[in-house]
Amino acid sequence: MIQSKSGKSVNRTELSPLSFLKRSAYMYPDKIAVVHGERRYSYRTFEDRVIRFSNHLITLGLKKNDRIAFLCPNTPALLEAHYAVPMAGGILVAINTRINCEEIRYILEHSEARFLFVDGELYSLMESLDPAGLKIIVVDDTGKPDDPYEKFIAEGSPEVFECLPENEEESIALNYTSGTTGRPKGVIYTHRGAYLNALGEVIETGLNAESKYLWTLPMFHCNGWCFTWAVTAVAGTHVCLRKTDSALIWDLIHKEGVTHFNGAPTLQVMLVNDPAAKPLDHTVTVTIAGAPPSPTLLEKIKSLNFRPVHVYGLTETYGPITVCGWHSEWDLLTPEEQSGKRARQGQAYVTAELVRVVDENMNDVPKDAKTIGEVVMHGNNVMKEYFRLPEETERAFEGGWFHSGDLAVWHSNGYIELRDRLKDIIISGGENISTIEVEQAIVKHPAILECAVIAIPDEKWGERPKAFVTLKRGAYATEKEIIEFCRTKIAHFKCPAAVEFSELPKTSTGKIQKYVLRAREWAGKEKKIN
């Protein structure tokens, strides 16, 4: 490695998405970077705000690898944090705005966040938290000088400083996701991984300098699947959106000339059934994950001039890691046949390594579209580790590959297609739900003896939780009562959609046989995943 007189390598730069903002602000200073309602920020202003934000954090004593938490919807503040926090040497913790107070408390305590930036509409959640040593800054999202967040920005120095990490393997973000233990697990992303996955999004979805990306996907989900950095990499425009309102989305598509947005099929169903739905005069790329669109939905999407791109991934893989790359010859197939092709999760992004489907001995299963194995990943798009969970990390990385817990078949062309899950995870409308967490909430009800929760197919959300419960001798409870009880313990979207009272099927050793329940609920369906 050749070094210059300054001691820096001539032929190496540490990879970091922070370089994306620096380059775009340099090349396109007057180009609109951020749109939020009537507000418009140029790339010059975007960079200036980030630098001031970062400098203020440093002034307040932020140290290397300190965690900075954000509890905000898709607003400029959270977008700016994706640059300002790592620029100051910190690690961003973007918290799901749909979880309850206890879950938020756990994340704040486990991450040991030093600062919490919270949206004004969510500030009431803080009353019951009061985490020790946490400085809270309110984000009113007005853009006006009296907004506490705007004051925070204004008080920061505009002085530019060297912000790239000394080592690209340093941590950039900490994302919490539901796990099989019922407690969220913290997933560490690196500067290198974020950089490469962001470029993967650019390539696979066709982002460029003319792109206008609408923030329908939460930025707290895998840092917005790394689109927080990808759009900036090409000097595209971020169109922020506080809430996924279908009428507003249609209005913004027309008003702002939106070219890209992401989301689960539930979002597409909402859009195509909105009264404002009509064929667009320009093509809009829609990246879909969670479940492939149905043949009916696919036809409707395409008739409106949306271009669907089906991707697959997990929090542990920076969001999407595979894409169902479309073959032109598939255009000649019937809509049903096309949907069958599009249902496949495909293969790895260009910035990742090809994924495998393996048996219990880590041997590749046959590419016969029948033999089921576990999907495993390796390479640039795999997380650094689970935060403060070395044993969990070692288990997930067994054999030198990340074990997804998803079961799939392998097609002859190398594409994979999911069939079921090993993990007790339900994916409903793009949100992860741990069945164990739901079970733990239900059994707190005084009438419940035991319960089991599984995913059941749902036409709108893809999957929803269903609870099977056994009551204590002499006890009484109704389905409505149990669901309402759950709503006092966990986030509403995690609560069961249905409750069935019955004896639970068990093995001779007393272990509940969830597969028996799943087989009944998914009877007649080829896949046990939706």
Question: Cα–Cα distance between 213 and 263 in angstroms, integer?
Answer: 12
End of a domain among 216, 243, 270?
A: 243
Specify the pLDDT at position 181. Answer: 45
Number of domains in the chain: 2
Q: How confident is the model at residue 275 (pLDDT cuts 50, 70, 90)?
A: very high
Could you tell me the CATH number of the domain that includes residue 106?
Answer: 3.40.50.12780
In a 13 Å sphere around the CA of 38, the CA atoms on its Cβ side amount to 3
The span from the CA of 444 to the CA of 453, in Å, is 14
Task: Please state whether beta strands 212-214 and 237-239 pair in parallel, antiparallel, or not at all (unpaired).
Answer: parallel
- C-beta atoms surrounding 355 within 10 Å: 29
Q: How confident is the model at residue 4 (pLDDT cuts 50, 70, 90)?
A: low
CATH number at residue 477: 3.30.300.30
> Does residue 498 form part of some domain?
yes
> Would you say how long the chain is, in residues?
530
What is the sign of the dihedral through the CA atoms of 367, 372, 373 and 375?
positive
E strands, 120-266, are 135-139, 171-177, 185-190, 212-214, 237-239, 260-263
pLDDT at 509 over 80: no
Q: How many CB atoms lie within 10 A of CB 88?
A: 25
**Is the Cα dihedral 248, 253, 256, 261 positive or negative?**
positive
The average pLDDT across 54-69 equals 96
Whether 253 is covered by a domain: the verdict is: no
Domain assignment present for residue 260? The answer is no
Rounded CA-CA distance 227/199 in Å is: 9
Q: With H, G, I as helix, E, B as strand and everything else as coil, classify residue 489.
A: coil
What is the mean predicted confidence (pLDDT) over 164-185? 83
| Six token digits for residue 508 | 């001779």
In a domain, 83, yes or no: yes
User: E strands, 100-139, where?
Assistant: 115-119, 135-139
The parent domain of residue 490 ranges over 428-521
**Facing residues of 377 across strands?**
402
Mean pLDDT of all residues in the chain? 91
For 425-462, give one letter per residue: b (16+ CB within 10 A) or e: bbbbbbbbbbbbbbbbbbeebeebebbbbbbbbbeebb
Question: Which amino acid, 431?
Answer: E
Q: Average pLDDT in the 20-36 region?
A: 98
Boundary of a domain, candidates 194, 224, 243: 243
pLDDT at 294: 66
pLDDT greater than 80 at residue 96: yes
- Three-class secondary structure of residue 348 per DSSP: strand
In a domain, 511, yes or no: yes
Distances (CA, A) of 247 to 47, 239, 277, 396, 432: 32, 15, 9, 42, 26
Give 224-268 pLDDT, tens digit per residue.
999 999 999 999 999 999 999 999 999 999 999 999 999 887 788
Q: How confident is the model at residue 292 (pLDDT cuts 50, 70, 90)?
A: low
Residue reference for tokens 């705005």: 97
Examine the pLDDT at 428 and tell me if it is beyond 70: yes
Distance of alpha carbon 357 from alpha carbon 346, whole angstroms: 12
Backbone dihedral angles phi then psi of residue 497, each to the nearest 5 degrees: -80, -20
Asked if the structure places residue 187 within a domain, the reply is yes
SS3 state of residue 528:
coil
Rounded Cα–Cα distance for residues 270 and 268 (Å)? 5
Residue 421 lies in a domain: no
Q: Which amino acid is at 443?
A: V
Would you say 111 and 69 are in contact if contact means Cβ atoms under 8 Å apart?
A: yes
Contacts (Cβ under 8 Å, ≥6 apart) of 152: 53, 56, 137
pLDDT at 508: 45
CA 401 to chain CA centroid, Å, is 21
∠ CA 146-56-223, rounded to 5°: 90
Residue at 205 is within a domain: yes
Which of the listed ranges 296-300, 468-472, 503-507 does the model predict with the highest average pLDDT? Answer: 468-472
Tell me how many degrees the CA angle 176-181-184 measures, rounded to the nearest 5: 15
Please check the confidence at residue 184 and state whether its pLDDT lies above 50. yes
* CA–CA distances in Å: residue 480 to residues 367, 457, 495, 500: 46, 20, 11, 11
Task: Answer with the one of 243, 269, 291 that is the final residue of a domain.
Answer: 243
- Asked if 264 and 462 touch (Cβ cutoff 8 Å), the reply is yes
In this structure, how many other beta carbons lie within 10 angstroms of the beta carbon of residue 68?
25
**Distance between the two ends of the chain, CA-based, in angstroms?**
49
